[in-house]
């Protein structure tokens, strides 16, 4: 298949808003893929590189984008994938220069449409609505199989790629079965903003402590126990204490989902980075185990003694978990009462955890999906920040300025320090307003980025502050989203970088001291 076909499919998917239209466009493209192209096409159209990171930086990509493009499409999908694989393999002295030349060569063979697709693919900004469940349904439509069958197989396989290869090349899915020592893709949670509103929408729900630990999936068959990471890598050798804990449970066969935490003597959790220090590949395992023991907290049970439970209602899975591993089950409260939910939320914070999870008691375990069945709620901060730039949007936001570059005021220099970007929380009316506003404030354009005079104050909600080498202040906001524009505030009244640093220090002290 010509790479141009994939790029045009991406454009088409981005240009339509209805889910069914996206699925149809994707399915039509998937049907045309050759036997060796299925995994590549599914990955690219999902906004993902099979190679993972290939070492291409922003500067190299900017230079490649200015290479004169081809007038006629000749690149095939497999040629693009082979070129990216070669780039990922370059290492050692001079590798960045070689990679830069290879990237420029690839862009020189690409048409304008293909180059645009490549840029968004390589920077991870292919926002076209073809992720997760949409792609699963597209594979189902293209292959003539049911979406449930594709979804179940992808869960068992750990990702969609091998399932897509089988389905799109006429193979069956019989080999994709839940089994011990075949890790499943983990179910994911959807962020939510308000505890009371979420509980009102869900009704009676299971509330659990939101842990900031290492996601683990533990499989047991007799005395053989293996621990898998969030990415489904076998990490048993690094965490023998977790394996021993599960080995001591009475059930003969188990698949457990949960998190591992390093705890202080008072039972409060260490910071996430401390826990993750136990998962290194070159550690003295016995020494680190003595110095930093891990405690498992399981929140789901997917298989026990030959019975698969992932399709059972969560209420049944939670009950079975507490019978099979009561000493390691995450603290949970089942309630529909807002007062009780608020009290549980406050208890989670007092005990040093991030917040709470809210789970639908009738929900199935849907691997890899961020659905409404699992919600995560954490206390949100707000800051009044300055818009430094805005990016032209894609898909339904095409033609409107969307992604905002956010900055805090530096009271010592009068400049503004960038803290990250966000395109979340914007209504259609807000998008229309800010497109006009920022064009009026424009200082200049750099590609798809419009730099603006630092005058507009915007109120931003966010969950926490994290260290980041990507921004000059060394800090970035996590899960930032727009609440409203503050036309009542001048730029010199915006929050300062000192305030952001104070929040970061407070969170670090909380993580060390177990108080949020």
**pLDDT single digits (tens) 247-286:** 999 999 999 999 999 999 999 999 888 898 898 767 788 8
Portions of the chain given CATH number 3.30.470.30:
188-376
Distance of CA 119 to the CA centre of its chain: 20
Per-state percent for the chain, helix, strand, coil, to nearest 5: 40, 25, 35
The beta strand positions in 324-395, using DSSP E, are 332-335, 355-360, 370-377, 381-392
Residue 36 neighbours by CB distance under 10 Å: 12
Low-confidence ranges of the chain (pLDDT < 50): 512-516
Portions of the chain given CATH number 2.40.50.140:
381-509
Res 128: pLDDT: 55
Q: Is 210 part of the annotated catalytic residue set? A: yes
User: Could you give the CA distance from residue 368 to residue 189 in angstroms, rounded to a whole number?
Assistant: 9
- What's the full length of the chain, in residues? 516
Portions of the chain given CATH number 1.10.3260.10:
3-168
Res 243: pLDDT: 97
- Is residue 376 within 8 A of residue 191, CB to CB? The reply is yes
DSSP string, 305-343: TTEE-TTS-HHHHHHHHHHH-GGGBPPEEEE--HHHHHH
Strands 370-377 and 188-191 turn out to be parallel
Class of domain 381-509 as given by CATH = mainly beta
User: Could you give the CA distance from residue 274 to residue 415 in angstroms, rounded to a whole number?
Assistant: 35
User: Could you give the CA distance from residue 253 to residue 247 in angstroms, rounded to a whole number?
Assistant: 10
- Is residue 55 within 8 A of residue 88, CB to CB? The reply is yes
Strand order of the sheet with strand 332-335?
A: 188-191, 370-377, 355-360, 205-210, 332-335
DSSP string, 138-194: HHHHHHT--HHHHHHHHHHHSSSHHHHHHHHTT--STT---BTTBPPPPBEEEE-S-
Res 132: pLDDT: 61
Res 513: pLDDT: 46
Fold of 3-168: DNA ligase i, domain 1 (1.10.3260)
Res 131: pLDDT: 59
Res 333: pLDDT: 97
User: Could you give the CA distance from residue 61 to residue 87 in angstroms, rounded to a whole number?
Assistant: 13
Distance of CA 138 to the CA centre of its chain: 21
Query: Which is catalytic among the residues 100, 210, 220, 376?
Result: 210
> Who contacts 346 (Cβ-Cβ below 8 Å, separation ≥6)?
none
User: Could you give the CA distance from residue 136 to residue 167 in angstroms, rounded to a whole number?
Assistant: 11
User: Could you give the CA distance from residue 54 to residue 165 in angstroms, rounded to a whole number?
Assistant: 23
Res 508: pLDDT: 67
Distance of CA 221 to the CA centre of its chain: 31
- Is residue 157 within 8 A of residue 176, CB to CB? The reply is yes
Which class for 286: exposed (0-12), middle (13-18), buried (19 or more C-beta within 10 A)? exposed
CATH number of 188-376: 3.30.470.30
Res 515: pLDDT: 35
User: Could you give the CA distance from residue 164 to residue 48 in angstroms, rounded to a whole number?
Assistant: 15
Which class for 304: exposed (0-12), middle (13-18), buried (19 or more C-beta within 10 A)? buried
- Is residue 139 within 8 A of residue 165, CB to CB? The reply is no
User: Could you give the CA distance from residue 211 to residue 397 in angstroms, rounded to a whole number?
Assistant: 35
DSSP string, 2-62: BHHHHHHHHHHHHH---HHHHHHHHHHHHHT--TTTHHHHHHHHTT--TT------HHHHH
């Amino acid at each position: 298949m010509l790479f141009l076909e994939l790029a045009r499919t991406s454009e088409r998917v981005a240009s339509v808003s209805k889910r069914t239209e996206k699925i149809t466009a994707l399915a039509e493209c998937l049907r045309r893929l050759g036997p060796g192209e299925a995994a590549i096409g599914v990955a690219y159209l999902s906004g993902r590189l099979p190679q993972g990171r290939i070492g291409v930086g922003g500067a190299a990509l900017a230079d490649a984008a200015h290479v004169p493009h081809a007038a006629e499409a000749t690149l095939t999908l497999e040629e693009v994938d082979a070129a990216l694989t070669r780039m990922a393999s370059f290492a050692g002295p001079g590798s960045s220069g070689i990679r830069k030349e290879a990237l420029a060569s690839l862009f020189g063979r690409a048409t304008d449409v293909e180059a645009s697709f490549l840029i968004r693919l390589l920077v991870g900004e292919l926002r076209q609505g073809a992720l997760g469940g949409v792609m699963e349904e597209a594979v189902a439509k293209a292959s003539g199989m049911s979406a449930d069958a594709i979804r179940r197989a992808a869960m068992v396989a750990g990702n969609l790629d091998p399932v897509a290869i089988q389905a799109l090349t006429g193979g069956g899915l019989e080999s994709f079965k839940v089994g011990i020592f075949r890790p499943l893709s983990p179910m994911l949670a959807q962020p939510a903003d308000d505890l009371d509103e979420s509980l009102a929408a869900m009704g009676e729900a299971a509330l659990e402590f939101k842990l900031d630990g290492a996601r683990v999936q533990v499989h047991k068959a007799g005395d053989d126990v293996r621990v898998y990471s969030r990415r489904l890598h076998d990490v048993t050798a690094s965490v023998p204490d977790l394996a021993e804990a599960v080995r001591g449970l009475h059930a003969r066969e188990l698949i457990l989902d949960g998190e591992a935490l390093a705890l202080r003597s008072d039972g409060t959790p260490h910071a996430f980075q401390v826990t993750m220090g136990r998962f290194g590949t070159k550690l003295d395992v016995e020494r680190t185990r003595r110095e930093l023991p891990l405690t498992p907290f399981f929140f789901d049970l997917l298989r026990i003694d030959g019975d698969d439970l992932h399709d059972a209602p969560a209420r049944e899975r939670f009950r079975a978990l507490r019978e099979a591993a009561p000493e390691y089950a995450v603290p949970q409260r089942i309630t529909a009462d807002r007062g009780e939910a608020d009290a549980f939320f406050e208890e989670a914070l007092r005990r040093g955890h991030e917040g709470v999870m809210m789970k639908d008691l009738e929900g199935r375990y849907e691997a890899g999906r961020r659905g409404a069945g699992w919600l995560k709620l954490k206390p949100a901060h707000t800051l009044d920040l300055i818009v430094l730039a805005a990016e032209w949007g894609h898909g339904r936001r095409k033609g409107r300025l969307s992604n905002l570059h956010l900055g805090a005021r530096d009271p010592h220099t009068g400049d503004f320090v960038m803290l990250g970007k966000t395109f979340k929380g914007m209504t259609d009316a807000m998008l229309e307003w800010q497109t006009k506003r920022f064009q009026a404030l424009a200082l200049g354009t750099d590609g798809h980025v419009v730099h603006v005079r630092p005058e507009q104050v915007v109120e931003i909600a966010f969950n926490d502050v994290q260290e980041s080498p990507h921004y000059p202040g060394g800090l970035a906001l996590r899960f930032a989203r727009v609440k409203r524009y503050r036309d009542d505030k001048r730029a010199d009244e915006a929050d300062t970088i000192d305030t952001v640093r104070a929040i970061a220090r407070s969170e670090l002290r909380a993580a060390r001291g177990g108080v949020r």
